[in-house]
Amino acid sequence: MSISVLLVEDDRDLIEELAAFLEAAGFEVTAAETIREAEALLAEPRDLLILDINLPDGDGLSFCREARRYIRSGIVMCSGRGERELRIASLRDGADAYLVKPVDPEELEATLLSVHRRLQAGTPPVPAQARPHPWHLDLERRLLAAPSGVTILLNGPESLLLGTLFGRDDHKARKEELVALLAAGEAGYSAHRLEALVSRLRAKVLGRCGLKLPLVSDYGKGYAFMEHARLL
């Protein structure tokens, strides 16, 4: 049975070179050029993931950290950056190996086989349905994409609110901070107006796509977005 590999890389020439070599070696290779494409493809379990760090729509290291919570695929970071601190951070955040470009295809093949052998003795892959689909926010166009694929056009304050939450690792922000950010664009903004904004936004999303927006009050201190989310 062949080993399935998802190659996440935005250099098309490199994709073709590595895919051709690995397929000739017996691997089943699928390629993605962005994090968003990779997230969609990971709905189907993959044995191994080759992940670049610098991608058009985000940071591969952050994606590695997030994906590790939901998948049990082997992850091999493959980057042109070879700093010691970055290699250590990648391994701490869930990568199984780190290779520096330009990559020797034979070394990559050997690394993939080594990682796969180690995984065979470990836990089985997490079922695809256990991994949630993310919410996406396109700040430039003010478009919120729900996990169902439906998009919702946001106004300025709504986009600023969700953009602030999506841009943080914990997806949280204090109420006072959010009020201050919103007041920069509209004088006299208050905590009461923030609460009204959140209430309207929840109703708007529910009405447009039939899904409950996972935006919750953080014990009265502020707000938190409780599902997987990503900025574009």
Mean pLDDT along residues 23-38: 92
How long a stretch of residues is the chain? 232
**Count of Cβ atoms closer than 10 Å to residue 171 Cβ:** 20
Residue 82: both structure tokens together = 């070879």
**What pTM was computed for the model?**
0.59
Ramachandran area for residue 169 (φ above 0: left; ψ -120 to 50: alpha; else beta): alpha
Whole-angstrom Cα distance, residue 132 to residue 137? Answer: 16
Q: What are phi and psi of 53, to 5 degrees?
A: -90, -45
- Omega before residue 124 within 30° of 0, cis: no
pLDDT digits (tens, 9 = 90+) for 100-151: 998 899 999 999 999 999 888 765 544 444 455 688 999 889 999 998 888 9
Whole-angstrom Cα distance, residue 190 to residue 12? Answer: 49
pLDDT score recorded for residue 112:
94
pLDDT score recorded for residue 126:
45
∠ CA 15-4-127, nearest 5°, is 125
**Count of Cβ atoms closer than 10 Å to residue 78 Cβ:** 23
pLDDT digits (tens, 9 = 90+) for 200-223: 999 999 999 888 899 988 766 889
pLDDT digits (tens, 9 = 90+) for 57-115: 888 888 898 888 788 899 999 988 888 888 888 898 889 999 999 889 999 999 999 99
User: Going edge to edge, which strands form the sheet with 172-174?
Assistant: 172-174, 222-225, 215-217
Of the candidates 120, 119, 124, 96, the one whose C-alpha atom is nearest the C-alpha of residue 108 is 96
Mean pLDDT along residues 226-230: 83
Whole-angstrom Cα distance, residue 164 to residue 199? Answer: 17
Whole-angstrom Cα distance, residue 131 to residue 67? Answer: 9
Residue 45 has pLDDT above 80, yes or no: yes
List residues bridging with 137 in a β-sheet. Answer: 144, 231
